[in-house]
């Protein structure tokens, strides 16, 4: 797939890849969808990956909304920066350990 060069192409490619992701997830049995990975320290299952993506999407949406309204903010919330954001990811993971899988696939 070619790299998008316009906003519309980026939106279309994002939507296409999102559909592919969920087609793959939906092709798995419910049991496999909720099984733990054997290779990850933080994101240990599909739920963890989906809520991680959700949290980063929220960061982006908040950043765009704030900056478009004239409130210039940094992409990463304080106290994080590009050297310390791994701790933010851990906090996202901890925040969602009680999020049910079925909720994670609908957020």
Note whether residue 20 is domain-resident: no
Note whether residue 2 is domain-resident: no
Note whether residue 7 is domain-resident: no
Note whether residue 87 is domain-resident: yes
Strands, E, within the chain: which ranges?
none
Q: What is the pTM of this model?
A: 0.85
Q: What pLDDT shows up at residue 2? A: 86
Q: How far is CA 38 from CA 33, 43, 72, in A?
A: 14, 10, 41
Q: How far is CA 19 from CA 12, 88, 92, in A?
A: 11, 27, 24
Encode pLDDT of 46-101 as tens digits.
999 999 999 999 999 999 999 999 999 999 999 999 999 999 999 999 999 999 99
Encode pLDDT of 10-54 as tens digits.
999 999 999 999 999 999 999 999 999 888 788 899 999 999 999
Counted domains in the chain = 1
Residues whose CB is less than 8 angstroms from the CB of residue 94 and which lie 6 or more positions away in sequence, other chains included: none
**Which structural domain range is residue 77 located in?**
41-107
Tokens of 7: 């906003």
Is the pLDDT at 1 greater than 70? The verdict is no
**Dist. CA 55–CA 89, nearest whole Å:** 9
């Amino acid at each position: 797939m070619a790299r998008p060069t316009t906003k519309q192409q980026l939106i279309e490619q994002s939507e296409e890849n999102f559909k592919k992701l969920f087609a793959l997830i939906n092709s798995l049995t419910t049991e496999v969808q909720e099984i733990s990975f054997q290779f990850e320290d933080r994101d240990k299952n599909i739920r963890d990956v989906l809520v991680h993506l959700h949290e980063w999407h929220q960061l982006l949406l908040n950043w765009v909304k704030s900056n478009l309204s004239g409130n210039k903010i940094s992409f990463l919330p304080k106290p994080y920066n590009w050297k310390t954001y791994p701790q933010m990811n851990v906090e996202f993971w901890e925040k969602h350990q009680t999020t049910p899988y079925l909720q994670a696939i609908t957020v």
